[in-house]
Structure formats: C-alpha cells, structure tokens
Chains A and B, each alone.
Chain A
Amino acid sequence: FPAVLPSPHMSRRKSCDFILFSFNKTVEHGFPHQPSALAFDPKLQLMAIGTKSGAIKVYGAPGVEFTGLHKDTTAVTQIHFLPGQVSSMLLSSLTHMRSKIRCDFTLSPLPPLFPSATRVTVLLLLRSCDLLCIGTEGGGVYFLQLPRLSLKDNHTLLQDQVTQSLPDDYRCGKSLGPVESLQEHPQQSGKILIGYSRGLVVLWDLSTRHADQLFLGKQQLESLVWERTGNLFVSSHNDGGYSVWPVTSGNTCSHQPVTSTIPYGPFPCKAISKILWRTTQTGGGMPRASYGDRHCLTIQQDKDHVTLDFTSRVIDFFTVHKFDDPSALVVLLEEELVVIDLQTPGWPSLPTPYLAPLHSSAITCSCHISSVPPKLWERLVNAGKAQQGRQHTHRSWPICGGKNLAPPPKQQELLLTGHEDGTVRFWDASGVALTPLYKLSTANVFHTDCDPSEDPQDPSDDPDMQQEEEWPPFRKVGCFDPYSDDPRLGIQKISLCKYSNKLVVAGTAGQVIVLGLSDERSDHLVDVSVVDLLQDREGFTWKGHDRLEPRLKPAPFPPGFQPLVLVQCLPPASVTAVALHAEWNLIAFGTSHGFGLFDYHRRNAVLARCTLHPNDSLAMEGPLSRVKSLKKSLRQSFRRIRKSRVSGKKRTITTPTSKVQEANAALAEQEEVAPVQRRIEPRSADDSLSGVVRCLCFADTFLRDGTHHGPTLWAGTNSGSVYAYALEVPGVGTGRVCERGGASESSVCVEAVLGKEIQLMHRAPVVSICVLDGRGKPLPDPYEASQDLAITPDMTNAHSVLIASEEQLKVFSLPKVSAKTKFKLTAHEGCRVRKVALVVFSSTAQEDYSEHTLVCLTNLGDMHLFNIPGLRPQVRYDCIRKEDISGIASCVFTKNGQGFYLISPSEYERFSLSAKVITEPLFSVQLDRPLEPTPASKWCVLMCLLSDGTTTQPQANGTHKNQMGQAEGRSEHTHTHSLSLSHTHTHTHTFPSFHFSPPFYSPSSSLSSLSEPLKLQPGLAGVPLWSPW
C-alpha cells in the first residue's frame, strides 16, 4: 500500500494521489543473479530457472515470464516440471519438504514419515505423475505418493537390498555411495534406472520391487541417460569418459558396457557431469573441463564435434526437441543463457529475447529515453542488425510456451547502459522483455593496449580457424566478458538528443565524445580538443591516471553512432556530469575539478571554469590512486587471462563482480563490528572534493533581467555552489542580435558570461538544477519547443529555478535569485537526496490531466514525491533496501513515472510510480486439462493462500488464474482450455498482501524444485516458504 506522508496538505490531495501515483515493482530485466537450477517442460514449452537466492523464474515465449521468490534465501538446486500435475514440490534447506500450490508458491508440509536427516541428491518424477522418487546421499531411494507426498509404505529401496544381489567380488564390503541418478525407462513405465556413485547401475522394477538388471560399472558415476528405445543407456563418469550399456531382458548382470569412450583422453580428464542423448540427429553433450577450468560443453553428431567454450560455469542444459529431433540446445551458464541452433549447419547461437546479459561488462551508468522517434528507432535497429548478422542465426526462438497478450507498446523506449569496457548498449525497454538493440563501442576512438586494429574481426569468429587445427575443437560462445581492457574506457555519463540523433558519452579518464548517427560505414579521424579545467590554479598536481591516448590514424566506424569530436578534460578525472544542447550545438561537462563548455559545431572550447577549493587536495588523487597498484595488477592479470583464453592455456576464473561483492560484504561487516559513532559537525567550506561538479543544465531563461531571456548554463557542485552563465549563441535570440546590428562578425562564436553565483548556506552537494517556466513547468527539451513537439514554455511570466541539493529542495525566482519555496528534507527526515527527476504523472481518471512531479530517491531507498513548484510532499514509497547502495546509485527514472534499478549486477528491477504507465507481463498459458471454473474453488485457493498456505489444493485445477484476477472477480477469463491471465492496474489497492507481486501465471503442469542442503526431516510443520511478494 502506498505510504502517505503525513502532511497537512494530504487530506485535500489524497483523492487525487490515487489517480496519479501508485507504486509497483513490475518486472525484472536481465539475467538472474547466481542461477543454480534449470528445468524445461517440453509440453508447455516453459523454462524455469532457480537461483541461489531462492527465486524461480519461468519463461516461455517472449513476453511470457513470471517470478516467484523464496522468503528465506535458500538456494534452489533442482527444478522439475510435473507434467499435467497440479501441485508441485519444493525441497528446501530448512529441513522441510513442502509441496506448494503451483501458482502461488504456497507450501504445505511434508508428511512425517520420512527418515530423518537424509540428504536428498536426486529427484525423479514418474511420467504417470503419481510417484516421486527421491535418491539420497545414504544410497536409499524413497517413493512418495503424489500429490499428498505421503511415503509409500514398504516401497523404500535401501542399499542393503541391492547389495544382496551383487556378486561378491563387486561387493567388496564397500557401500555403493550416494544415488547419483534416477531415470525412468522411456518405454516401460514402472521401471527406473538407479545409478550409484560407485558405478553400479540398477534397473529397478517398481511393480515387482525387484532388480531387473545390474550393471557393474567400475568408474565413478556422474550421470545416466536412456536411449530413446530403452535398449541402451549411457553413463558418464568422472574420468571424462562415457559408456554405452545394453539392456537385455534375461541377463541379470552386465559386467562390461558395449562401448566405452573417453573423448579427450588418454590423459586424465575431468568429469562429465551430465550427458544427454538425442537419437535422431545429434549426439549428446558433455560438459568437460580437461583444460584447466574451462567451462565446456561438447556436441557430437557423427563427425561433427564442437566443444563450446563458455566464459562462466555451466549450470545445466537441455535440448528443445520434438520427437527426439533436437532443434536447439539451451545452456544455462552462471552468467548468461546460451541457445545453440542445432538445425542450422555450423550450430550457430541464437540471440535470446530475454535474460539479456546486461552485465557482460560491468554496468557503470544508465540513461533512459522515452518516446523515441520512429526514425531513430528504425536506424538503431538496422545498425544493431548489421552488428549481429554474422554471429547469429535468425531462426525463431525455440521456447514458445504461453501467449503474450500485452498490447504492442504505445511508444518506443530506449535504455542505454554504459559499461566498464567503454561500450554503450542500447536496449529496447518498451516492453516486458528487455532486448538488445545495438552496441556502441568507444574504445576504437583511442589507442589502447589491445588495439582492435590488430584484430578487426570479432574474436568469436576466429575460433573457426582453431577448430580445424585444435583438438578439442573449442568454440567460444556467449558474450559475458567482465574483463575490461582498460578501466579508463568506462562510461560515466550518457546524454542523447533523440531529435537530432546526437549522443554524448563521457568516461572515466575525462573523455567526452560527441557522436552522430550515420547509416554508412565511415573511416575518419576524430577531432580532439583538450580542455584544461584547472586553469591557472597552482599547487595542484594530478596523481591519478593518465588521459587516454587518442588514436592518430583514421579508424573504421561501423554504421550507427560514429564519433565526431573527442574532448579530453585535464586533469583526466572521471566526468561527473554532462549536458547536451543539440539545438545550440553545445556540450557541457564537469569533473571533480571544474566544468567546461564546448561548441562541437565549431570545435571550439567556450569556457573552462575551475571549481576547486584551494584546500582540496583529495580531488587530485584520482579515483584509483589509493588502490592504483592493485587495480593495475588486476588489470594486467585480466589481460593475461584474456590472452590465455585465445591461446588455450590454463587460466583462472574469478568473477570480479562477486569478488567486489565479497569485499563489500566484508567491509559492511567490519563497519558493523566497529563501535558506531557519528560526529556532529556542520559541513565546512573546505571539505574535500567540494569542487566536484554534480550537475549541469542548459536552459533558455531570464538570467540578465526580467525582459530578455536567452541561453544559460547552470552548474552545481558538491559544496553547494551554483554557477549560472549567460550564453551568447549565434542565431539564438536573434532579436537581440539584430538590435545591436552589424555584429555578424562577433556572433560567429559562442560566448559565456558568468551571471550569478549562488552559494547555498547548507553547503550540501547540488544534485540537480532545473529551470521552470512561468507556469511552473519544466522547460522542454531542446528542439521540442522549436519543432512544436511540446507545449511552448511560458516566457511571459517570471521563471524560477529549482535547485535540489542532497538536503533541501529550493525554488528561486529568476532573474533575481531569491528563495521562493523550499523543503528541508534532511532536516526533517534525516535522509539525503540521491537521485532527482522531474516526472509527468498522468491521471487514470481524467484522460488529459497530468502533473509535473519531483521524484526524489533518498539514501534510505525511499521515493518522495513533491509537486512543483510548491514542493509540497505528495506521497512516499519504500522502494529499495537502504543497504542496497548500488541499487540506489543505479536508479534511473523515465519521464513518465517508471524507473529501473539494479537488483544484482545483472538484473534491473523495473518499477512504476505512476498509476497509469505500467509495463508488466500480460499473457496466457494454454493448459492441457479442462478446468472447473467455479467461483467456489477459486475462492478456496485464495483462502488457503491468505490464511496460512499450509494446505495443498491438489485438485483445485480450475483456479489457474492469478490471484489478482480472482480478487478482482475476473473469472470471465477462465474458459475451458485456455486461461487468460490478465492483470489489471487497479489491483494494488484491493489486496495488500499481493500488492507488489508480479503476476503468477501457472501452467497446468507444475514445478518442483530441490534446494540445498536438502536435509529431510519428518514432522516439521510448514510455514509458507513461497509467497507472493
């Protein structure tokens, strides 16, 4: 429920708030952090991914996705779809085994008949769906009846029973080890293959409770798979080999397999941990890792043999197939999902429509562009297609469960992410699935150590050559590549003008690059300008990194955004703010030392202003200096790793993101241990880093006097200073130029004159500056007014400027800067402003009514909404955990009331503050069972969910609708065979407990998952472990 700030104004406003504002976390974009399990239902064509934090995400066709989250962070280790079954299971680490109602993840307790404290190793669900087989560490196999999960009496198969029938020489007094694999016979139901760790495989007949056949394997077993006919099965072993065994009735004991192969022998190999065998076309896949720590998967088919070399650990894989003819191989890696098209010769990889690896290089900044003009969109899409063309096939996405019912987005939205390796990625953020559009690399503007000119082809191409020469035939797959060649390339700020297609990106080494969109490939030299922001300040020596070396020769730039001008700040500190005004051809940029103004049309530096405080010594340290040596060595080692990857030598794999997290966690712990004490002192003028330029903005407003408006530039610093410059831009404000007459010569050049300097008393960092027009509305973007794309700003009444510092929000009148209104957030709430955005909220009640609202994200992770220019608090929502500093730092708002923040290095959470503009999944999943849509049964599920959730509702089959729909009484959507699982926006006020939950649309077959550490104990009552958010 939206939390409402207690305020005297609230009572009057309240009715309106609910029309404008409503907080929802709608969808997660990107790749789940630390995935740990994978499952696929071939019937429903749905894929499920479980994570170490206890989330289960289910994906079908693009746009069909839903998520459930464990209340406690318990790792999911196995997931199984239960075809046609109603309830599903989850084994959790809490020593409970629980069954959950499939659609809402409510759990019920395990019957108390289970042997205590046994670790479960494998699960098998029979096709008949009435029996669940559980393999344990102790070697026992237990059978549970579904859906009640009651232990089947006298069916338990303990190791002793098996050992008795073994020949003496095989028995040799040792235990058989844990159960490693359970596989049901593909033809004869009721027969299962049990594989023990020591190598023994037993074909067990459930009906006679007798071992049909024993296979006396001698190698330690990793996995088993049946051949389709059931006459053969394959076992894979930890020595890197696999064996094919015949199943012949009458023969009770097989000592030798038919064939036994170690594909990459004869030298010792690492284990094949999973093997699949699809008869018709393709051989199985074998993850192997004889090469050090390589993460590999082998596909064999007759003579074709490819070893896919991944950059991160293989979690699991499956094939998508119809009648044993695999069309695609889906591999879940620790950091990405790779899909290989097995029907196209050469087995190319398929681009994924979701689960995009956002973090293929660490995200350093982001920027959102709403309502992208169709022309720009088309050109971007084409540029992106040109990039992808050679790497991917264009076959359709193989996983196609469910039906996306979401209407096509009304407008195109772009999310731009800047990365540590100097790339900017353009994502289609219009809908539920965040898909990559285009990738821009800025590294080729510079001369770097790994100069791409030596290797103009994408590295993924050259393994083709290696494939012929090398054995094993490695092929690099996937795009996760966290190793930055040079951290100075990192992108810090992005600004895009969607009307003029001008892009400004600024980076860690003070580089500011202006790019223009071009559809043609071009070889050209980029103009370079250097702007000294220190000016003539003496006594400052930069101790940080060097500036990047611009490339001296013309470089080839592919279609898309191509660099026009490179401006390098000196000292080369990280750029902290940029602003672009394409109409005036101006960019402004700021660092920790000052800010500059550059005319990119005339390639002319207009202004450089130092903001350093004389005592500020820390500013010269540079961001990396204190850890410089460490960072440098890290960088070198990464480079080494990178090289070794190409040459095929041994390498170590560290995931820098997780390293950083570990370090952060350690730091956080340390802080907690230390006695917590805070000093109370007002900020003084000579605080370090006071000169950091925090924000820049261009505005056409009244700075000189109340009658003449003109271009202005505003800059705010970390120490609460605001500088306002009046600009003379030739051709802008032409009236005045004419008045003066004959000034054509002088008007060629842009001029900047300092107009005002404001020092905020409280000296808090200035987070944002925005000029409001005579009606109190923010000024439109460049070109919007001149091209009639927005309501022209009111230039007749007095303008005002909104200055948001970390502590206060203030509106000053213009041109005489005097305070009009303010809100002292920190003084009242103790929270500090981190991000600020001016957002238009449209009303759900009135079609054309909208309000401009100031949204503040604070260091406590909550959103405060204020009206402008009155600065009255409207509403407050808790959004991000306050401990989640990277989440707060990464938050980006859209213009219409949505936002994104990182919930892990690889995932964006999308949220909506607007009651009207919500992007969320809307789809249906076709069910294979007739439904019994009586209101009573629906209610029943809902009740049990609300009360305790401990009851399973095994036959509540007709209640596949998501709980929102039920709560809303939208039963008309339930028809016999298909469920229309729609989701309305108004639900949020109806059911508090479901308030922020994403819709759970359930398939008719359900999910079961297995969690670590998988201890089973009887009799522990169930608390709902899964619950809607």
Chain B
Amino acid sequence: MVLSAVPQPTSQPGSRMSRQQQHRTPLKLTDNVVEVKSKFEAEYRRFALKKNGPGGFQEFYRLLQTIHHIPGVDVLLGYADVHGDLLPINNDDNFHKAVSSANPLLRIIITKKEDEPVVFGTNSLQRRKKGLGLTGLRTTGSGSTHSKNKPGLMIGLPQNFRQISSIIDVDILPETHRRVRLHKHGTHKPLGFYIRDGVSVRVTPQGVEKVPGVFISRLVRGGLAESTGLLGVNDEILEVNGIDVAGKSLDQVTDMMVANSHNLIVTVKPANQRNNVLHRGSKTSVGNSGSVGSAGSTGSALSHDSPSPASQSNPITASNSIAEGDSDDEDDDGDVILENDCLTPYNSHRVTNSNNTNLNRDSPNNRPHNSTVVRPLPQSVSLPNSIGASLSDSSTMMSSHNGNTASSSQESMREDGNIITL
C-alpha cells in the first residue's frame, strides 16, 4: 500500500528532461516533442507537446478541453507513469513531472469531476498493461472488469499528500543498514510495530560474538510501519534517533522510541538483506529518474513511493543528505499554550471587584448556571509560531469580552476550565 510522499515540489529540475530514454522510436519525433495520448470516456486523442515550453497546468487543461471538445466540463487529469501507476495532474509541478517522465508516450486519462473520485492506483496500471493494455484503466462509473483482481487503493489528491516515511543517510550508512524516518505527526494511524529482545550475532575480530539486541517482532496491519514497507519483522534495531541502543534494555528502547514517536528515526539492519538499496541499481534503469523526480525533492530525503523495490531509485544521487536537522524546534512548538485573556491585569480585576463579589465567596459548587448572555470565549489559542495571530485574536477578544456583562465574565473566570478544549 502506498500512501506516499509527494512533498510540495518547489522547482522543476531541468536536467531531468534530458534523461528521457527512448525505447521505442516513434515517427518523426524529435527530442523536444512529447507524444501525448489522451483519453476521455471512450474517446482518444493523440497530439504532441513541445518539451521545452510546455507551459503551465492551466494551459494544458484548456488545451485538453478544446481537443476533446468538452469546454466548461470540470475534469480531473491523470497520467500513467513509468511504473504504470495512475497519478494525478492538477498543478504545474506534477504536469511538468508528467511531461518529463513521458516514456516516450504520455498517457493522459481525463475523468469528469462530478463522477465519483478517481482511483489513483499503484501497480494497477502496470498489471493491466502487461495483460490488457491501458484500455481497461478503471475509471469511475465504468464497471471495471478488472476490479476483482485487486481493488484499487484510494489516494487523495497530491496537495493532500504528506510525507510519512523516508530512507535517509544512505550515503553514510553501510549498505547492510537502513535508516528509516517515520513521520507520525498529524495522522491517526498507529505507528504499528512491536519490538522484542533477541540475540544478535556480530562478527568481530575475535570471532563471532553473540550480543543482546532489539528486534522488530510484529507489524500491525495497516499501521504506518507496515505501510512504508521499510521495516520488517526481525529487523534488528541499531539506533533510535541517532542514539545507539546497544546496552539498553527493551524497556529503555521502547521509551526512547515513544519519546521520539512524533519524528522517529530508526536505523535497522533488515532481516531481509536482498532489498538493500544498492542492489537495485541494475533494475532501476528505467525508473530511477521517475521516482526521484516525482518528489521534486531538494535532496534532503528520498521519498519512498512503493514497497516494490523497483521504485527505489539510485540512492546516492537522490540523497546527498544532510541528515535533517534535529527536530527539536518542532516539538517545542508543539507545546500548546492557552492563555486566559481575563488575566490582563487591570481589566479583569476591575470586573471582578466591582461586580458580584459574593459569587466568589461561594464554593465552586454553587457557581451560577444561569448565564444568559452569549458566553464569550475568554481564551485565545496561541501557538508559539503564530504569536502575531494570537495577539491580534486576543485583542479582538478583549474588546468583545469587555462589552459583555460582568456575570458571564465572572463565570468564565471562575470555571473557565470546562470551556477550554484543545
């Protein structure tokens, strides 16, 4: 399952254009023209695009609308990438990506927006390509005969994509090791793995030595760890966020991982050494530029697209990385601080002291429940990143707050706890 990573690309690496390879040689095509075959419902159109100046996404969108004679119809665009995956085109970046990765033909699939969402799938296209060609590409409404093979996975639009995992530091690690970064924050998906104690065999100058080690014992189905495909059962855990786990107990390692869970970087020695990055060079001659480019990455992290090893591109070029900076700052900002505006000294006291002071003397149980006025929100949420926003928020809050009756403010001050929710 691939929910992978398309961070918002920032720039189009121009060099990628020239890496296009031509296996088939279509008629009259020069290097700077891309052959396009687009399909809308049952109709096909074939045309060519200039490679150096393909323009933007909007231009292309309008072009397709004219070509298919569907002006005014809202459509979604998709293209088949080198692996046969159906990927969306909805902005300049993935359009450029699509053009640059045309191999040599760029297949465009157009669907109506009002239809059910398109199923952008992995491997589905490829499989079909082998058996049936592209004609059976499942679109909405058309009861695909192939859907029983494997139901396509639902993939959101690229702007919703978010990086969930990456292989990092490939260049500095021995090839038998893999450093995987799991990006947890934001998802409700569990990290989804278990670790256990075990014995690791090390080869030392003194001979073979057995040392205690920590291993992945189980992956939870549907969990983040499983979905990345980068961690497997019996992988030995060597480091957690750069800290060697040697000599640490299982509980210590557990606590370290949990403490780092929002940005967990584990260095493992995979039990299955056949999938190691460097061994793939030969296989990826076709696809290497594809997946690397898709990330449009600035090189910090190689985004990992698919559990299939073929999608892993040559890592050396991809990740001249800089292990990404310590995430310390991120999590500081993560502390949420709620401020109570009533506390602004003079206002609140004036309110408190001039009105209903008898209420204060009541035990908390007796606080009034009869506030009839619309209860103002006495707090503003301020995240350290958005100080300015919160300040302005609070100032507006203040003004509205002061306009309200004293009794409600009284109440909010006394028992405001119940109305703060994070």
Q: Which residue of B249, B258, B264, B360 contacts A749 across the interface (Cβ within 8 Å)?
A: B360
Knowing A708-B345, A827-B260, A831-B252, the reply to whether A680 touches B195 (Cβ < 8 A) is yes
A489 to chain B, nearest CB (A): 26
* B115 lies within 8 A of chain A by Cβ: no
Q: Verify A831–B343 contact, CB threshold 8 A.
A: no
Assembled-state Cα–Cα distance A840/B249 (Å) = 32
Interface residues of A (CB under 8 A from B): 531-532, 535-536, 596, 604-610, 675-683, 685, 703-705, 708, 723, 726, 728, 736, 740, 743, 745-746, 748-749, 751, 753-762, 764, 807-808, 810, 817-819, 822, 824, 826-832, 859-860
Assembled-state Cα–Cα distance A797/B331 (Å) = 27
Question: Which stretch in B9-17, B137-145, B334-342 binds the other chain?
Answer: B334-342
29 contacts between A and B (CB under 8 A): A532-B364, A532-B365, A609-B417, A677-B195, A677-B218, A680-B257, A680-B258, A681-B192, A683-B261, A703-B343, A723-B417, A728-B352, A740-B353, A743-B353, A746-B352, A749-B361, A753-B340, A757-B337, A757-B339, A759-B337, A807-B259, A819-B335, A826-B259, A827-B256, A827-B260, A830-B252, A830-B256, A831-B255, A832-B255
Q: Verify A755–B340 contact, CB threshold 8 A.
A: yes
Which residue on A lies nearest to B381, using beta carbons? A757
Q: Verify B415–A535 contact, CB threshold 8 A.
A: yes
- How would residues 321 to 341 of chain B score, 1 for a CB under 8 Å from any chain A CB and 0 otherwise? 000000010011011111110
Assembled-state Cα–Cα distance A705/B331 (Å) = 25
Which residue on A lies nearest to B249, using beta carbons? A830
Q: Which residue of B259, B360, B379 contacts A762 across the interface (Cβ within 8 Å)?
A: B259
* B193 lies within 8 A of chain A by Cβ: yes
Q: Verify A535–B195 contact, CB threshold 8 A.
A: no
Q: Verify A754–B257 contact, CB threshold 8 A.
A: no
Q: Which of B183-236 contact A (CB under 8 A)?
A: 184, 190-197, 217-218
B384 to chain A, nearest CB (A): 6
* B49 lies within 8 A of chain A by Cβ: no
Q: Verify A704–B252 contact, CB threshold 8 A.
A: no
Q: Verify B261–A680 contact, CB threshold 8 A.
A: yes
Q: Which of B379-422 contact A (CB under 8 A)?
A: 379, 384, 413-418, 420, 422
Assembled-state Cα–Cα distance A736/B349 (Å) = 10
Q: Verify A761–B334 contact, CB threshold 8 A.
A: yes
Q: Verify B191–A680 contact, CB threshold 8 A.
A: yes
A-B interface, 4 closest residue pairs, ranked by CB to CB distance from nearest: A830-B252, A761-B334, A682-B261, A826-B259
Residues on B with C-beta less than 8 A from A810 are 335
Q: Verify A746–B194 contact, CB threshold 8 A.
A: no
Residues on B with C-beta less than 8 A from A818 are 384
A444 to chain B, nearest CB (A): 27
Q: Verify B256–A826 contact, CB threshold 8 A.
A: yes
Assembled-state Cα–Cα distance A926/B341 (Å) = 73
Q: Verify B261–A759 contact, CB threshold 8 A.
A: no
Interface contact tally, CB-CB below 8 A: 179
Q: Verify B243–A860 contact, CB threshold 8 A.
A: no
Residues on A with C-beta less than 8 A from B256 are 826-830
Knowing A746-B357, A749-B361, A757-B420, the reply to whether A680 touches B194 (Cβ < 8 A) is yes
Q: Verify A751–B417 contact, CB threshold 8 A.
A: no
Knowing A759-B422, A822-B332, the reply to whether A682 touches B191 (Cβ < 8 A) is yes
Residues on A with C-beta less than 8 A from B420 are 754, 757
B324 to chain A, nearest CB (A): 16
* B254 lies within 8 A of chain A by Cβ: yes
* B262 lies within 8 A of chain A by Cβ: yes
Residues on B with C-beta less than 8 A from A758 are 335-338
**Which of B196, B336, B343, B344 has most chain A Cβ within 10 Å?**
B343
Assembled-state Cα–Cα distance A531/B357 (Å) = 21
* B45 lies within 8 A of chain A by Cβ: no
Residues on B with C-beta less than 8 A from A536 are 418
Q: Verify B196–A677 contact, CB threshold 8 A.
A: yes
Knowing A754-B340, A755-B339, A824-B259, the reply to whether A829 touches B195 (Cβ < 8 A) is no
**Which of B254, B340, B379 has most chain A Cβ within 10 Å?**
B340
Which residue on B lies nearest to A676, using beta carbons? B197
Q: Verify B360–A751 contact, CB threshold 8 A.
A: yes
Given contacts A535-B364, A536-B418, A604-B363, 9 further A-B contacts (CB under 8 A): A728-B349, A728-B352, A749-B361, A754-B343, A755-B340, A826-B258, A827-B243, A828-B256, A830-B256
A720 to chain B, nearest CB (A): 9
Which residue on A lies nearest to B336, using beta carbons? A759
Which residue on B lies nearest to A610, using beta carbons? B417
Q: Which residue of A535, A746, A829 contacts B360 across the interface (Cβ within 8 Å)?
A: A746
Q: Verify A746–B364 contact, CB threshold 8 A.
A: no
Q: Verify B217–A677 contact, CB threshold 8 A.
A: yes
Assembled-state Cα–Cα distance A56/B345 (Å) = 64
Knowing A680-B193, A746-B352, the reply to whether A827 touches B259 (Cβ < 8 A) is yes
Residues on A with C-beta less than 8 A from B254 are 678-680, 830
Assembled-state Cα–Cα distance A196/B250 (Å) = 56
Q: Verify A756–B344 contact, CB threshold 8 A.
A: no
* B50 lies within 8 A of chain A by Cβ: no
Residues on B with C-beta less than 8 A from A743 are 353
Assembled-state Cα–Cα distance A789/B164 (Å) = 57
Assembled-state Cα–Cα distance A681/B379 (Å) = 32
Knowing A740-B349, A831-B255, A832-B255, the reply to whether A678 touches B250 (Cβ < 8 A) is yes
Q: Verify A678–B194 contact, CB threshold 8 A.
A: yes
Assembled-state Cα–Cα distance A751/B338 (Å) = 20
Which residue on A lies nearest to B197, using beta carbons? A676
Q: Verify B352–A751 contact, CB threshold 8 A.
A: yes
Assembled-state Cα–Cα distance A759/B184 (Å) = 18
Residues on A with C-beta less than 8 A from B416 are 754
A169 to chain B, nearest CB (A): 69
* B74 lies within 8 A of chain A by Cβ: no
Q: Verify A753–B331 contact, CB threshold 8 A.
A: no
Assembled-state Cα–Cα distance A1008/B353 (Å) = 78
Assembled-state Cα–Cα distance A830/B256 (Å) = 4
Assembled-state Cα–Cα distance A532/B362 (Å) = 13
Assembled-state Cα–Cα distance A758/B190 (Å) = 25
Knowing A535-B418, A756-B339, the reply to whether A705 touches B217 (Cβ < 8 A) is no
Assembled-state Cα–Cα distance A143/B399 (Å) = 100
Knowing A535-B415, A682-B261, the reply to whether A830 touches B342 (Cβ < 8 A) is no
Q: Verify A828–B243 contact, CB threshold 8 A.
A: yes
Q: Verify B357–A756 contact, CB threshold 8 A.
A: no
Assembled-state Cα–Cα distance A532/B337 (Å) = 27
Knowing A754-B340, A756-B340, A828-B243, the reply to whether A676 touches B258 (Cβ < 8 A) is no
Residues on B with C-beta less than 8 A from A751 are 352, 360
Assembled-state Cα–Cα distance A726/B416 (Å) = 13
Residues on A with C-beta less than 8 A from B197 are 676
Q: Verify B258–A681 contact, CB threshold 8 A.
A: yes
Residues on A with C-beta less than 8 A from B180 are none
B100 to chain A, nearest CB (A): 38
Q: Which of B292-307 contact A (CB under 8 A)?
A: none
Residues on A with C-beta less than 8 A from B243 are 827-828
**Which of B184, B245, B361 has most chain A Cβ within 10 Å?**
B361
* B31 lies within 8 A of chain A by Cβ: no
* B241 lies within 8 A of chain A by Cβ: yes
Assembled-state Cα–Cα distance A830/B391 (Å) = 38
Assembled-state Cα–Cα distance A770/B58 (Å) = 58
Residues on A with C-beta less than 8 A from B413 are 753-754
Q: Which residue of A608, A681, A705 contacts B191 across the interface (Cβ within 8 Å)?
A: A681
* B253 lies within 8 A of chain A by Cβ: yes
Residues on B with C-beta less than 8 A from A679 are 193-194, 254
Assembled-state Cα–Cα distance A891/B114 (Å) = 67
B395 to chain A, nearest CB (A): 15
Residues on A with C-beta less than 8 A from B344 are 704-705
* B248 lies within 8 A of chain A by Cβ: yes
Knowing A677-B217, A740-B349, A827-B260, the reply to whether A753 touches B343 (Cβ < 8 A) is yes
* B175 lies within 8 A of chain A by Cβ: no
Q: Verify A749–B357 contact, CB threshold 8 A.
A: yes
Which residue on B lies nearest to A748, using beta carbons? B361
Residues on A with C-beta less than 8 A from B365 are 532, 535, 608
Residues on A with C-beta less than 8 A from B241 are 827
